Structure 1
Amino acid sequence: MAVGPATFPEKMHPVAGFKLGTASAGIKTPGRKDVVLMELCEEATVAGVFTLNAFCAAPVQISKKHLDAAATRYFIVNTGNANAGTGEEGWNDAITTCEEVAKLCDSGVEAVLPFSTGVIGEKLPVEKLVSALPAAKEVLSESGWDEAAEGILTTDTRIKGASRQFEYQGKVVTLTGISKGSGMIKPNMATMLGYVATDAQVDADLLKVLLTDTANCSFNRITVDSDTSTNDSCMLVATGKSGVSVSAEDRSLLALFKTELTQLMQDLAHAIVRDGEGATKFVTVKVESAKTQQEALKTAFDIAHSPLVKTALFASDPNWGRVLAVVGRAEIENLDLNALEIYLGDVCIVSKGGKDATYTEEAGQAVMDQEQILIRVVLNRGDVSETVWTTDLSHDYVSINADYRS
């Protein structure tokens, strides 16, 4: 189940200097595409952001270590097994995978970054993974985005991708990316993998700043079920092949590039929410006129995580008292109940400390019957606004996760 039409672009623009190859290893399901190899040109710069879960998987630990140690040339991704909660054996299996990629591709071991996603706590069938590497290498192509988008999925029902181009001083700059994620979605990062490449030239330090900033307003603003995964990773690669150099000195280009990157990252993040496990609603929660960012974000996420709010959304029930109760427990210091306003879409449901005088059940029902819903809270105590995106909570979510290992 997913919300709205599929959003994968008809055209995923190739990024010069970045190749992808996909193969089947049968890690969990025989015949399924589940191994993706990505090759970066020698001039590429790389940045990454990773899960903050203390039980981060061996591939995450090794990717962070290798990213700091050497120029990255290859990403190797497997699905069907997270290689998390596997101790020293999991570490060794991830290193073995890197060694085999390095041997096959004639690179250093530290030039390879491993990524895994799937069931936690089970041994990685590294022999199966390694056996698929030659087939993945054989089909490496700058046009391999569609197959790679399929190859990184787990419980997802849709492939997820975004691709944008813009022109600057007569040269075209391309940004293309894919992501996966459907459940165990909460910021820092969400159970997701994301790979974005651009042919702009960006030095590594600026690339990390750009990735951090854009992840914070995209992948770190989505939630399906408030669970932070062990394997979350998002990588940004700049190959420099377009001849356009993004730097802090050229403010106009930097601003344009950041705008395009932000939109692409949000497109990928929204695709994850729309494909949330069992989702029937795409929900935007916006908190306005807060004193601080922390206040706005906590209130928004408290609403987005509330099981009572999420089940009301699934039922299309305009039970506005559930939203009111969440705002009241959001620990907003010295909250003026008479000043705040709460809206469903454009319908004011709460003002002056209670139900708005103009509110009708019919108006609220009309909003809740929609597939895409906006919940807006106006605190009227500052000038900070924050937005998060979430789903409802359905019977199917329970079924999918109850059956996940079977």
Structure 2
Amino acid sequence: MRLTRSVAEAAPRVAHVLRKYDPAEWGGTETHVVAITRELSARGWGVEIHAPAGPTAADHALASGVALRRFDAFCPYLGDRTSLRALRAAGGNIVSLEEPLRLARDRSLSLAHVHTSGRIAGGVRTAMRLTGRPYVISAHGPVMVDTAILAEESARRQRGAWDVGGPFGLLLGARRVLDDAARILVFNEPERAALAARHGDRAVCMDHGVDAARFAGGDAGRARARWPELGEGPVVALVGRMAAQKNQALAVAAFARGAPPDHRLALAGAETDPGYRASVEREARALGVADRVHFLGNVRPADVPDLLARSSLVLVPSTHETFGLAVLEGWAADRPVLFARRSALAGLAQALGGEAGAAVPTLDVDAWAAAMGRMLASEPDRRAAAAAGAALVRARFDWTRVATRLIALYAEVIEEARRSPAPHAARRRAAEGRTG
């Protein structure tokens, strides 16, 4: 505790570096960073968000004390326009030369916290190492676990494009980012265990948090006014970017087989996999439910609690997740969530304990249709699942708890850097000597 207070008294500053920050293409990483920077700012930290050039309009999601600073970046790929657009939206290993120069010049920063990998993270690594300051990295995607899925996604997104950015990655040390980070933050235990085999105690498992009060304050009446196309009947909702990973195709197929005819399905999220929405729309037409499936597009974070309040059931059928923030948001809104017991979502199912009947162990359409039908047919089951999830959120996933732990971790990192220029490197060399 003494260490945390001493850091706070020194008015430390941290830069959170993202690959993308665009309110029109919102995702779980942005939700996490906005919330954690709000907490840090409220506790006296100087906080900035650094992201590639994007919208310049006022951003009402950020706390008033959090600065948003843009930097130039480019996508070092050759290919057709559609492929390049997909890579810019998600998955492309982009490069910035301006950001590492900015970080190197701004010596008042105590540390950097990077929320992406690849060449952007390599730039952060280079700048902080050259100036003798630490950085930590949060892995918001698979690193050691689900690597086959990650490789498949990368190959699909890069189809039709050729990466010519290798020399920039080599220059910036993109492949050394994890080796030189003071801490590697992950959001599920299997990922931590896999990384710890190489990186030891620098791999740390953290929880995401959720603003339970905000999500509990959703208003179904406002949702009816905002989306009159949903009508007055029951609504099933899926909130997540329109992408193969989020698996809206499975949601539509299961809805067509398992939901009563008076229900509607609301799919809320910006398309980040070009062409995926069109394929889901075709599926809805082929299954005869196009008139009951509504594509709401990107929904402002402020409107998500209202949509959840309007919903009888929330779906999270993702092929994989590093944590599963959408599950927490549904629980915080006091709604039952039907989710896939896969990758990190299996950890949430385990944490839910005896109420894990809301987790489906497969991505089989028939299994999902059956689970959805059972849940929608039983109001007591929905109430029980919602109550169990809400109780777990209150007990474990409050942002105050998450921020307190993160500040303590920052304090450790800053103190280590003060004592030694690169304590993590010394530990790594010692570990390599033990295993060599």
TM bucket by the smaller chain? Answer: under 0.3
Q: Which has the higher strand share?
A: 1
Query: TM-score, normalising length from structure 1?
Result: 0.25
Greater RCO (Cα-Cα under 8 Å, separation 6 or more):
1
Q: Which has the higher helix share?
A: 2
Query: TM-score, normalising length from structure 2?
Result: 0.24
